Amino acid sequence: EVQLVQSGAEVRKPGESLKISCQASGYNFTRKWIGWVRQMPGKGLEWMGIIYPADSDTRYSPSFQGQVTISADKATSTAFLQWSSLKASDTAMYYCARHLRGNSGLDYWGQGALVTVSS
């Protein structure tokens, strides 16, 4: 059974760093793209970026390029999303999701991780 299990809710202050995780199981982690999606409170879905764990090929939305870093650890089948200096505007729910191939869509999703940035 394919599962994506995300790390728990986080509360940080502006300027702090953070790394959240998404652990995959039930499929060959290295051979499927895995992406991140942001949802700010009461707002729609925003595609942030995606990584191919086999070779760490990573693509970012221009809106998030330079603001976050996406990475993956093949040994633990885990994808990561990290910030070096959080802002209050980073407060949101973050989802990871698997992209099987081509136009197959994002077929499995993590449960989401709520990040709250407040002084």
Residues that bind another protein (CB under 8 A): 35, 37, 44-47, 49-50, 59-63, 95, 97, 99, 102-107, 109-112
Q: For 26, how many CA atoms within 13 A lie in the half-sphere containing its CB?
A: 9
Nearest residue (CB) to another protein, 102 versus 119:
102
d(CA 56, CA 62): 18
* Cβ proximity to another protein, 32 vs 99, nearer residue: 99
Shortest distance (Å) from residue 16 CB to another protein: 26
Provide, rounded to whole angstroms, the least separation between the CB of residue 30 and another protein. Answer: 20
CA distances from 57 to 14, 92, 118 (A): 29, 25, 33
Strand partners, 99: 33, 106
Amino acid at 72: A
Question: Whole-number minimum distance, CB 3 to another protein, in Å?
Answer: 12
Chain centroid, CA 43 distance in Å: 17
Q: Which is nearer to another protein, 45 or 88 (CB)?
A: 45
CA distance 107 to 63: 23
Q: Which is nearer to another protein, 12 or 59 (CB)?
A: 59
Residue 72 CB, shortest distance to another protein, in Å, is: 17
